[in-house]
Amino acid sequence: MLISTLYHNINSDKYSNDYEVFEKHLAYIKKNFNVVLPGDKLKGKDICLTFDDGFYNFYEYVYPLLKKFDLKAILAVPTKYILDKTEIDKRERLNILHDETYSNIDRAPFCTYEELLEMSDSGYVKIASHSHSHVNLEKCNNLIEELELSKNLLESKLNINCDTFIFPFGKYNDEVVNEAKKRYKYLFRIGNGINKNFGGIKGVIYRINADSLEDEKSIFSFSNISKYRLKSFIKSF
């Protein structure tokens, strides 16, 4: 069983988790799961933590917790909105509303390349592509550019092999998957399903929505796990 969880923000106004609940959530995961990244050896009760969009609150809140609990996670970033570095005060960066982030790039609501490099070099954070412009790839007219430009930028600026792609909004079709597979080894979507391994379901790894957690372990309840298993069974055909 490979569970992959999806998060966005911490202590924000939307698609977010409360810091204290999230800290307890990571402590629970540390105690009960084998935390893995793509390519790691699986032990049977494995979990892969993924965070979409690369908001600054990841650097401020999540990154220190990963180090505290000795856990690893994937951070998917849309490269168009990533500044090289910034002098903007962290309080201003943290207080930008979720729906206003893309229109306030100059205020650095996302992690900078300087911060991404620090986290990547630490070994606690694997940087993934979330496309270049964070668009619905089913409807864009420049699919190849969205897939390739983001990969090239991340590899050149962070000195990494970017082999993981997370579909913006979880949207894709056969063409998008086929083109993404030519450039990335691991593909993630939304979907609230459980995977057998990093091969996913039909080549795409399903993730469980873990924003707005009720408590540290609510998404792992017997009833929820049963729903995720059923969804995966249906989608495997």
Structurally, the chain folds into a number of domains equal to: 1
Torsion angle defined by CA atoms of residues 236, 126, 84 and 169, in that order, rounded to the nearest 10 degrees: 20
Structure tokens at 10: 């911490």
- Domain span including residue 180: 2-235
Q: What angle do CA 97, 103, 107 make, to 5 degrees?
A: 70
The CATH number given to whatever domain includes residue 118 is 3.20.20.370
Structure tokens at 142: 């420049």
pTM exceeding 0.95: yes
pLDDT tens, 100-122? 999 999 999 999 999 999 999 99
Q: Is 22 left (phi over 0), alpha (psi -120 to 50) or beta?
A: alpha
Q: Which residues does the chain have with pLDDT short of 50?
A: none
Which residues make Cβ contacts (< 8 Å) with residue 51, sequence separation at least 6? 6, 7, 8, 58, 62, 73, 74, 75, 76
pLDDT tens, 56-110? 999 999 999 999 999 999 999 999 999 999 999 999 999 999 999 999 999 999 9
